Amino acid sequence: MRTLVPFGNSMKHIDLFTPIELIGTDRGREIDFHGRTPAVDEVWELLDLVPDPEIPVVSVVDLGIVRDVRHAPEQQPEWQVDITPTYSGCPATDFIASEIERALQRAGIAAKIKTVLAPAWSSTWISAKGRKAMLDSNIVPPVHDLNSLTCPHCGSGDVHMKNQFGSTACKALYTCHACAEPFDYFKTI
Ligand SMILES: [Zn+2]
């Protein structure tokens, strides 16, 4: 799916989402809670199988989008999942909420997905596992000092930003002068 989103003073087409069926949400695993009430930890485990639509190698849990999972048997629906968009106006937020809802439904859980805007998401919320998964896919995870940015292909520090926006708005496109390979950098927020 391609969509038009604002970038600075202009508009740009970006490839937004890959349908979850094509990514393979469950990554080879099936979790089914039908007929029983799972522990909160098990629901976190299930959510850790839901890929972020923009960076499918990282789950919505590892990216820090899922903030809280609560079970309140006296309420309907019994489960509530709080999510925070990675940056304000991220066009994927509604999509992520519905994918989380669908993943839970498939496992037999009805949940309310609530968007929580404060405190705002920060790239420091990305887990160590998430950072490693990015790097394994040649996406450089957020760094504090851009001068320390190195090429994920060859390790050279001789890298330069080619475009402020990479394949999605949260990434910048870099190129390496040592090996000539391009790569995405997930911007620090
Ligand atoms: Zn390189």
- Surrounding ion ligand 1 within 5 Å at CB are 151, 153-154, 156, 176, 178-179
Please tell me the distance from the alpha carbon of residue 152 to that of residue 137, in angstroms, as a whole number. Answer: 9
Centre of ligand 1 from the C-alpha of residue 175, in Å: 8
Q: Is residue 156 part of a domain?
A: yes
Check whether residue 162 and residue 95 sit in a common domain. Answer: no
Shared domain check, 107 and 164: no
Cα 172 from Cα 184, distance rounded (Å)? 6
Q: Tell me how far the alpha carbon of residue 181 lies from the centroid of ligand 1, in angstroms.
A: 6
Residues 77 and 165 both lie in one domain? no
If asked whether residues 85 and 167 sit together in one domain, one would say no
CA of 56 to the centre of ligand 1 (A): 23
Give distance in angstroms: CA of 150 to centre of ligand 1: 8
> Is the domain of 153 the same as that of 118?
no
Phi first, then psi: what are they for 43, rounded to 5°?
A: -70, -40
In a domain, 105, yes or no: yes
Task: Specify whether 58 is located in the same domain as 143.
Answer: no
What is the torsion angle, in degrees rounded to the nearest 10, for the CA atoms of residue 126, residue 130, residue 131 and residue 137? -140
Tokens for 179, please give them: 């090996």
Residue 130 within any structural domain of the chain: no
- Tell me which residue range forms the domain holding 48: 2-123
Question: Is residue 36 in some structural domain?
Answer: yes
Q: Is residue 155 part of a domain?
A: yes
Residues 13-46 have pLDDT tens digits of: 444 444 444 334 444 467 888 888 999 999 999 9
**Among candidate residues 123, 146, 168, the one where a domain is terminated:** 123
Do both 50 and 105 map to the same domain? yes
Is residue 105 located within the same domain as residue 180?
no
Strands 111-115 and 139-140: unpaired
What is the crossing angle of helices 93-106 and 40-47, to 10°?
A: 120
**Main-chain phi, psi angles of 155, to 5 degrees:** 85, 0
Q: How far apart are CA 96 and CA 52, in angstroms?
A: 7
Single out the residue of 124, 133, 111 nearest to residue 49, CA to CA.
133
Neighbours of 108 (CB within 10 A): 14
* Partners of residue 119 on adjacent β-strands: none
How far apart are the C-alpha atoms of 176 and 51, rounded to whole Å? Answer: 28
Alpha helices in the chain (DSSP H): 20-23, 40-47, 93-106, 128-136
Q: In the predicted model, what is the mean pLDDT of residues 123-140? A: 93
- Evaluate whether residue 132 is within a structural domain: no
| Residue 21 vs residue 157, higher pLDDT | 157
Q: Is residue 169 part of a domain?
A: yes
Tell me, yes or no, whether 114 and 165 share the same domain.
no
Q: Are residues 107 and 163 in the same domain?
A: no
- Give the count of domains, the chain: 2
Minimum mean pLDDT range among 12-21, 112-121, 161-170 = 12-21
Same domain, residue pair 17 and 107: yes
Whether residue 82 is found in the same domain as residue 160 = no
In a domain, 158, yes or no: yes
pLDDT tens-digit profile of 74-117?
A: 999 999 999 998 876 667 788 899 999 999 999 999 999 999 98
Cβ atoms 10, 27 nearer than 8 A: no
